[in-house]
Structure 1
Amino acid sequence: MLPIVSVILPTYNREKTLPRAIDSVLKQTFQSWELLIWDDGSTDNTHEVVSGYSDSRIKYFFSENRGVTYARNRAIAVAHGKYQAFLDSDDEWLPEKMADQVEVLDAYPAVDILFSDFFNINLSTNEQYQVFPRYAQAMSHLDIDKIKDELSIIVKGLGKAIAFDNFVATDTVIVRREVFDKVGYFNEDLRNFEDFELWWRMDLAGVRFAYMKQPYLRRYKSYDTLSSSSILTYCHILKGLDCCWHEAMSLGRPDVASELALQYRNVWQNLILAYGKVGNKKKALDAFLQSSKYGIRLGSVRLIFQAFWQ
């Protein structure tokens, strides 16, 4: 019998945290699932960790290092479940995650993709907080049909809302398989921002989103100081934003494309700070000029002064 849910779990050199993620799937109250672990070229003991589990529903795949997007897409391609869910190898689900989300998708066939609130855990400070309350301003842009206290169907406004701030965490998502047949998979040209680009593309294609206020995920995050690696991340985000802009324009939706302006400005502002921190004044000035295309803000002016005279 085929599983109801395919759990897509990409991993790369996460031998220490991977058991926590796998165990959280095994502890689900809903048991009709397969767990597809796609090892993106790990050089640690990832294979040995997975081999320690005897559950036949756990399937291991290995490929050369191509990035998380490639790993997710390859796993989606071989998945058997009518629903696809995602989990990162350093995070964990709460036990009712699959059961509650499958119940919603079964009950509401008009819903194509479902996400939920989650807990962020700062590994540096051990602070834990529920995320949706901190995204209240972004989520205020949503036009919703509230089905019950814990469930709302998004009628419109998702693109504008996530352009303000992306609150759709991939680890909380469960989606009908046919949605990928309609809009395609994650964009493998992107090293970051691939999740935002997919939600944006789905929304443009008329995919119906819904969300649950109940948190079903603990996401563990490290907050590093600004560095050359963060500069590269911001540059990848700009590439993702460009993809989203072109997608909207190709559909004759300049009004939708314009909703990305805030994201563009924020990324360029972050680059002013990042380049200033590493002493690259020319790049900091270039970033300031780019951010100014979306309106000159006092914050941008302050950052460029810091870059030159800190």
Structure 2
Amino acid sequence: MPRVTVLVPVYNGASHLGATLTSLLAQTYKDFELLVIDDGSTDNSVKIIKSFSDPRIRVMQQENVGLCSTLNRGIQEARGEYIARSDQDDISFPHRLDREMTVADTYPEALGMFAYNTKIGEKHSWTNSDKLTPTNCVRVYDPIKDGCLLGSTMLARTSALREIGGFRERYYPVDDWDLECRLAEKGQVLVICELLVAYRFHRDASTYRVFSEMQQKRYWTKDSHRRRVQNLPELSFEEFLAQLPGNIRARLQRRRLGLWKLHTRIAGQHLLDGNYLKAAVNLTAASFLHPIDISKRIRRMLLRERIPVTTSGETSVESGTSPQEAPH
């Protein structure tokens, strides 16, 4: 049996699917199966998948049931000891699995891990300055401080994902953060402070269609995590919304923060695509909504130091260093 199952859920992903699969098949780590589950695509996705003849590819097709159910089917069908997830439009660097499996073998008690990512658009790529670490490290994941990390960087024990029940549909579209929280509650989850995946920004991403719901459920996910840690029962989404402050000021504050995040996201999209005028419009709107944050972002963009980043995967955790002691 392969040691790793690389799980790729697909739904109408023809635009970028070929590049994603190519990056996964080019991994320097070879002991894996590539489980691709097509969730009822109506474009050329299946044709693209079947154009690859690599024997490591295992293809499943089904009627459309949604992302969470597709991922959960993959968790049950996986043959590997570990599951590495990749979305249909992201690019894994060649050493990604090698690096993650090295960390998995170094910390066998860990249930899973995530890594940093760069962002790519039609014309440019970008890495946040706080991810340009001069010294690579491995540290413990904190659900509140770290927030939701990119699902396409995940490597986790198959048994642990099954034990916690996989992805929960009711938390979609922040089901990935909900899973990360529950995995961290179950045992040790690590963060590899290296760029292992390129996260693709594109206008067809589902993020824009569900952005408003995403913001509400982000607060709910955080509340549910804190309740579980305190051994309190979770609230349903409706119960959570009902207990939020209902005064006009509180509602306007939540609305302001949601719009600020949306305009910031769209501005980043335009910058990566080379649409600088459109980016300036959204950045201006974001600056009215949250001037302090935007001024900090612009200052970092203009003045950040170019720190050399290791992407070869050659740097490893220092001998005798535990994740808790590794530099943040």
CA contact (8 A) 1:230 1:274 kept: no
1:183 aligned partner: 164
Which amino acid in the other structure matches residue 198 of structure 1? L
Q: For 1:228-247, what aligned pairs fall within 5 Å after superposition?
A: 230=208, 232-247=210-225
Question: Which residue of 1 is the match for residue 107 of structure 2?
Answer: 108
- Cα separation, 2, equivalents of 1:178 and 1:36: 17
SS of 1:102 mapped into structure 2 = helix
Residue in 2 that maps onto 1:304: none
SS where residue 119 of structure 1 aligns? strand
Superposition pairs for residues 129-208 of structure 1, below 5 Å?
129-131=126-128, 133-134=129-130, 149-154=135-140, 158-163=142-147, 166=148, 168-205=149-186, 207-208=187-188
How far does residue 178 in structure 1 lie from its aligned partner after superposition? Answer: 2.1
- Corresponding residue for residue 59 of structure 1: 58
Report the 3-state secondary structure (helix = DSSP H, G, I; strand = E; otherwise coil) of the residue aligned with 1:199.
helix
Partner of 1:45: 44
Query: Match of 2:240?
Result: none
Q: Distance in 1 between matches of 2:144 and 2:217?
A: 18
* Cα distance in 1, alignment partners of residues 23 and 177 from structure 2: 25
SS at match of 1:17: helix
Q: Distance between the aligned counterparts of 2:176 and 2:253, measured in 1?
A: 18
CA distance in 1, matches of 2:73, 2:105: 26
* Aligned-residue offset at 1:233: 2.6
Q: 2:270 maps to which residue?
A: none
Matches within 5 A, 1:205-284: 205=186, 207-222=187-202, 230=208, 232-252=210-230, 268-271=255-258
Distance 1:46 1:266, change over 3 A: farther
Instruction: List runs of 5+ in structure 1 lacking aligned partners.
Output: 140-147, 276-297, 301-310
C-alpha spacing 1:66/1:244, structure 2 compared with 1 (3 Å) = farther
- TM-aligned CA deviation for residue 116 of structure 1: 1.2
CA distance in 1, matches of 2:124, 2:72: 33
Hey, what does 2:18 align to over in structure 1? 19
Going from structure 1 to structure 2, the CA distance change for 1:245 and 1:24 (only over 3 Å counts) comes to same
With over 3 angstroms needed to count, the CA separation of the structure-2 counterparts of 1:149 and 1:108, relative to structure 1, is farther
2:32 is equivalent to residue 33 of structure 1: yes
CA displacement at 1:250 relative to structure 2: 4.6
- Contact between 1:151 and 1:210, CA under 8 Å: does it hold in 2? no
Secondary structure of residue in 1 paired with 2:6: strand
For residue 191 of structure 1, what is the amino acid of its counterpart?
Answer: Y
Change in Cα spacing, 1:170 to 1:250, as seen in structure 2 (3 Å) is closer
Gapped regions of structure 2 (runs ≥ 5): 236-243, 245-250, 263-287, 291-328
Distance 1:152 1:266 in 2: 36
Q: Kindly tell me the number of residue pairs found equivalent between the two proteins.
A: 251
Contact 2:10 2:39 in 1 (8 A): yes
Q: TM-score, length-normalised on structure 1?
A: 0.70
Mapping 1:76-115, distance limit 5 Å? 76-115=75-114
Aligned to 2:281: none
How is 1:290-305 mapped onto 2 (pairs within 5 angstroms)?
A: 299=289
Q: How far is 1:58 from its partner?
A: 0.5
SS at match of 2:55: coil
> Partners of 1:174 and 1:18 in 2: how far apart?
20
Q: Distance in 2 between matches of 1:299 and 1:233?
A: 17
Amino acid at match of 1:153: R
AA aligned to 1:158 is D
1:307 counterpart residue number: none
Report the RMSD for the aligned CA atoms in angstroms: 3.5
Equivalence for 1:128: 125
Confirm or deny: 8 A CA contact 2:137 2:192 kept in the other structure. yes
User: Does structure 2 conserve the Cα–Cα contact (< 8 Å) formed by 1:120 and 1:129?
Assistant: yes
Q: 1:151 corresponds to which letter in structure 2? A: C
**Shift of the alpha carbon at 1:159?**
2.2
